Structure 1
């Protein structure tokens, strides 16, 4: 395969549901505690953690920045701060921090991936991290579009917690598949803190083809979950707005059809 891999191969490495791990990756809080938790866990994978070690906000074990045994090349441990504000238990706001390449590598091993079965190099890991981060940034921007409906109620929504559900297809994804459309390659549920009110969002990730220059390829279907009257009303409202301006707009403005 040479010194590089195709975009499709990168996506398969990052998002395959069986042998390769899904992108249920840690976006751990960046703190001084990272150093302590890193030293307290061995680098062997998979790691057996006590349930008390699991972070309830992202369902991941503590950060592991140590190289794994027989790792073929060193990986950076630097982490990128996201644009996604985090709702802290004490009411303060920080920003979620993306995993380093080393953390991502260890997470993939923990989920069953073995590097010896792949032709992978440092450039691939850099690309995978960029794809992962871009997908999360894109998802947050879609969430903010929905939260704009409640701007007067809350002008600063924050992400409280999240979890990956790659094999638990949403009802909408299943219905679409019955109509002949492909199933999403991943699903996340995000809990957004709307100034003290928890709002659950469902995010289905569909393959959009080739990577663009921003490392985006996924088509995201982001919407509030059908678990409250307010969420149902928001979805009805947005459906009407889309119908009003996308379908009726072409009749009221003939130039749009040219």
Structure 2
């Protein structure tokens, strides 16, 4: 989830990958992670099984954490993501959810997307079997980074959508999103190959995460919306001078149609053309 923060819409970038700082000290989190006990679920199933067998030999031992597979297709999260403490949880996590700045759905009455609370984040990681090595006292910081990165990603998408927004005077909205950390994009594969061939020029490490976002682009007042899929790859970057970790992201419309292909070409070539012509003003 390597993203950057921007308070306002940035100028068109001369590159697809933008560096950024993260507000959380990841080295401290890594130290906590190394001291944590590895477990796919925070419940000691063997102990729970023995306890169950002691009370009833005919009862099958089950995990007391509900691993709900009923997912919301808009965000690939459980429809009813619990805010309850999990059995054996040692610290109290906040159940307060933060409202994002990202418009949700096709109309204003659908409001803005909400971020999961720290407790919901922990419950989601448990459900996916990804809670191993994550100490409970690191979850609050993870949520801060999660929210920080999503806000920055939306700013990058607004940059891509800027020319269409100027035409329609209607801001884009986010219909749905999904994480695809195990599906490396063709562009990421290409960069990884180039990194092996030219390690001094290209990145030699694969992205550590990938998201696909479905953005709604207005066709004009009362004319509906066009769905545009964006692909976002997340990379680690060298630490800043103050030893704070940094990230890079590669955000672009997916090559699903000729319009997206043209947008990608002009988005990256036009700044180079302006520079070649000696025009260095903000685009």
CA distance in 1, matches of 2:250, 2:234: 7
2:186 to 162, 167, 171: 171
**Could you say which structure has the larger radius of gyration?**
2
Shift of 1:54: 1.6
**Alignment check: 8 A CA contact 1:8 1:210 kept:** no
Q: Which residue is equivalent to 1:145? A: 159
Secondary structure at the aligned position of 1:192 is classed as strand
2:209 to 186, 189, 192: 186
**Alignment check: 8 A CA contact 1:47 1:110 kept:** yes
CA distance in 1, matches of 2:232, 2:121: 21
**Alignment check: 8 A CA contact 1:135 1:216 kept:** no
Within-5 A mapping of 1:86-125: 86-88=104-106, 92-114=109-131, 117=133, 120-122=135-137, 124-125=138-139
**Alignment check: 8 A CA contact 2:215 2:229 kept:** yes
Q: Which residue is equivalent to 1:35? A: none
CA distance in 1, matches of 2:124, 2:28: 19
Shift of 1:108: 1.1
Shift of 1:150: 0.7
CA distance in 2, matches of 1:108, 1:212: 32
**Alignment check: 8 A CA contact 1:201 1:223 kept:** yes
How high is the TM-score relative to the length of structure 1?
0.73
CA distance in 2, matches of 1:212, 1:103: 34
* 2:85 matches 1:85: no
Within-5 A mapping of 1:1-258: 7-8=26-27, 10=29, 44-45=64-65, 47-49=67-69, 53-61=70-78, 62-88=80-106, 92-114=109-131, 117=133, 120-122=135-137, 124-151=138-165, 152-153=167-168, 155-180=170-195, 181=203, 182-195=205-218, 196-210=225-239, 217-246=246-275, 248=276, 252=278
**Alignment check: 8 A CA contact 1:154 1:194 kept:** no
RMSD after superposition: 3.0
- Residues 237, 175 of structure 1: alpha-carbon distance in 2 compared, 3 angstrom cutoff: same
**Consecutive unaligned residues in structure 1, runs of 5 or more:** 14-18, 22-42
